[in-house]
């Protein structure tokens, strides 16, 4: 029987917390930053958590 493969893109983008939640980074913080306010850019630096509706799919991609 073959092993379950981890989705390469998912392992680079998501990480599990100690309590089992899944952390993610915000989009829109790589380029075209001059038109975005400092407040908005500061908010995009912080990590967020994925929505519970996507939890099962992301865990499957991570092979958990």
The Cβ of residue 36 has, within 10 Å, a number of other Cβ atoms equal to: 13
2 in a structural domain: no
pLDDT at residue 64, as a whole number: 87
5 in a structural domain: no
4 in a structural domain: no
1 in a structural domain: no
User: What's the pLDDT tens digit per position in 1-60?
Assistant: 888 899 999 999 999 999 999 999 999 999 999 999 999 999 999 999 999 999 999 999
Query: By CB neighbour count within 10 A (0-12 exposed, 13-18 middle, 19+ buried), where does 59 fall?
Result: middle
pLDDT at residue 10, as a whole number: 96
**60 vs 1: CA distance, rounded Å:** 18
- Domain boundaries, position 32: 10-62
27 in a structural domain: yes
Task: Report the CATH number that the domain containing residue 58 is assigned in CATH.
Answer: 4.10.410.60
With CA atoms as reference, report the closest residue to 13 among 3, 30, 27.
27
């Amino acid at each position: 029987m073959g092993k379950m493969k981890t989705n390469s893109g998912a392992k680079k983008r998501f990480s599990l917390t100690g309590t089992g939640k899944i952390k993610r980074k915000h989009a829109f913080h790589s380029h075209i930053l001059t038109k975005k306010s400092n407040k908005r850019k500061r908010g995009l630096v912080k990590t967020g958590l994925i929505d519970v509706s996507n939890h099962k799919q992301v865990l499957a991609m991570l092979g958990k």
